[in-house]
Amino acid sequence: MENLCLVVGLGNPGAEYAQTRHNAGFLLVERLAEQWRANWEMERKFQARVAKAEREGRRVLLVQPQTFMNLSGEAVGAMIGFYRVSPAQVLVVVDDADLPLGEIRLRPGGGSGGHHGLESVEQHLATREYPRLRIGIGRRDPAVREIIGHVLGKFGADEREPFAQVLAQAGEQIGCWLRAGIQKAMSQFNGPVRPQQKDKL
């Protein structure tokens, strides 16, 4: 369906994961659903929560796979097969510990960077060529590779306001992607968050 886009936020279902850094993708699509007044429904055939909206002249499905992070591709693959959309029409939102908190990076394709959610999506789509928006969550110690505790931890008091600004800018970037395409969205929004960023066409 040419006019249909999927915005898939990756995360883990369940109250214990609700506000963790690893759920940055969930948090962004929840913010968009609230902004766009879109209601969530459980779509069991896709193993996903889905909220439907009309934005920028397009039909948009906001998606939260309920498979747990490492199996995210099962839900994404099922939805692509059902709706017959191309991978280029699917934007996947993930946390990224290699990006500092306060930065976002949209790309049209590429590797997983060791992110198990992206690995699963790549496996089920049989391609790396799908847009992904990485939301920086940083690291406590850049020298330490084992970061499970950090990733599955909740944002600290000093991180909440910067992260809220990140979500706001990432939401604007997704709007720009829908309206003007990925190159415009990348050039205008990638990098550190700029307070009160306004999208100009």
Q: In angstroms, rounded to a whole number, what is the distance separating the alpha carbons of residues 22 and 151?
A: 5
Residues 6+ apart with CB under 8 A from 125: 73, 76, 77, 80, 87, 90
∠ CA 123-125-131 to the nearest 5 degrees?
Answer: 105
Going by C-beta distance under 8 Å and a sequence separation of 6 or more, which residues neighbour residue 113? Answer: 96, 98, 134
Determine whether 115 is an active site residue.
no
Distance from the Cα of residue 7 to its chain's centroid: 7
What's phi and psi for 49, nearest 5 deg? -90, 135
Catalytic annotation, pick one of 22, 116, 124, 150: 22
Can you say whether the dihedral through the CA atoms of 38, 40, 43, 49 is positive or negative?
positive
The answer to whether 9 and 170 have CB atoms below 8 angstroms apart is no
Q: Which of 51, 150, 142 is nearest to 98 (CA)?
A: 142
Active-site amino acid positions: 22
